[in-house]
Amino acid sequence: MARVVHPPRNAPPLWKNEGVRWLVFAVVALSLWEVGARLYNSPFLLPGPSRILEEFLKTPALVLAHAWITTQEIVLGFLLGALVAHLAALLLIVLPEWLEDFIFRAVSTLNSIPFVALASLVVVWLGVGGIGSKVAIAALYAFFALVYFVHKGMVSTDATKEELLTSYSASFVQRVRYLKLPFALPIIFTSLKGAAMAAVNGAIVGELFGAFQGLGFMILDSRYVGNTARVFLAAVFCTVVGWLLLGVLTALERRFVGWHLEMTRKG
């Protein structure tokens, strides 16, 4: 895909730089947190950033090992959920209308069961050990965050564009490739970001229901022994993993739907 043609533009001022903005935010937020925690002076209820860092430095390798497990669950679950959501959306488009309607009802029913109940069942079915059950739960969360939007995006193409492809006698696969998918891509990317956050939640929820490793396990384990700083530490790592995933998705979004960002900016 070709680059967007930019009008000549001056270098943006420093305070408009994304990295600079994050840095300023991090410094201000962490300082306020640290000051607040020290004034409150109750490390059991509210440990400050320095206390959490201290906790990390006690067993860095172990914490990173937990984080690595959870990261794998999140990423694999996200990819699996996204893949199945896209296949399901495509299937829904090709199926006859009555079957599409039936499956939509099934998906909606499943979607209205509380996720926590589903998650506990998945752990029963797939077992506590290993990452399989957690990957499945993360995938489930990601799937439901995506499937409606992918489907909606691909059926919302305008009728004239579809007719243009009819006039070319395009096949269904060509219709998807040249129209439906690129048309849906902006909304797909927006939903993928939501799905990534959902996958983080799914993996942690899965670990809370049954795991011997991972950040969710670390949260439960630390809470039992009253180590609040360690609970915070696990939460911080969850945030970091989520952000990394969002960062990758944002970069991919710029690469693949840069045209849309540019077009909507133009107004």
Binding site for another protein (CB under 8 A): 1-2, 4-5, 158, 160-161, 163-170, 174, 178-179, 182-183, 185, 257, 259-260, 262-263, 266
Report the residue number, 51 or 260, with the smaller CB distance to another protein.
Answer: 260
- Going by C-alpha positions, the residue among 148, 136, 28, 128 that lies closest to residue 88 is 148
Residue 253: CB minimum distance to another protein, A:
13
**Helices and strands of the chain, counted as H and E runs:** 11, 0
- Going by C-alpha positions, the residue among 190, 199, 163, 191 that lies closest to residue 179 is 163
Residue 266: CB minimum distance to another protein, A:
7
Report the residue number, 119 or 176, with the smaller CB distance to another protein.
Answer: 176
CA distance 249 to 74: 14
Residue 212 near residue 135, CB atoms below 8 Å: no
Report the residue number, 226 or 267, with the smaller CB distance to another protein.
Answer: 267
Report the residue number, 77 or 186, with the smaller CB distance to another protein.
Answer: 186
Residue 61: CB minimum distance to another protein, A:
46
Report the residue number, 42 or 167, with the smaller CB distance to another protein.
Answer: 167
Residue 95: CB minimum distance to another protein, A:
24
Phi, psi of 212 (to 5 degrees): -115, 5
Record the tokens describing residue 71, joined without a space: 């990261």
123 contact partners, CB below 8 Å, separation of at least 6? 133, 137, 206, 209, 210
Residue 182: CB minimum distance to another protein, A:
5
